Structure 1
Amino acid sequence: MIGLYNLVFNYCFAEIIVLSFFSYFILYKSLVFFLFWFKI
């Protein structure tokens, strides 16, 4: 039971890390795109 709870907790933690990394990546790409757009 404790092992199953630990597995679910690790999965949720990894999901949060992946989602935050993906959102930061999208934010960085949009920021670079806006800087490139304003330079033109």
Structure 2
Amino acid sequence: MSRRLGVGLAALLLGALLALAWWGWSRGGLALLQLNMNLC
């Protein structure tokens, strides 16, 4: 039981981390693109 709970918790954590990484990358990527356009 506790093992299944641990696996579920790990999957949830991984999913949250992936969502956060994607959100941060999309925001950072757009900001970086804008910065590049300003520099060029």
Q: Provide the TM-score with structure 1 as the length reference.
A: 0.70
Per the alignment, residue 22 of structure 2 pairs with 21
Q: Please report the RMSD computed on the Cα atoms of aligned residues, expressed in angstroms.
A: 1.4
Q: Provide the TM-score with structure 2 as the length reference.
A: 0.70
Q: Which amino acid aligns with 1:21?
A: W
How many residue pairs were aligned?
Answer: 39
Deviation at 1:8, TM superposition (A): 0.5
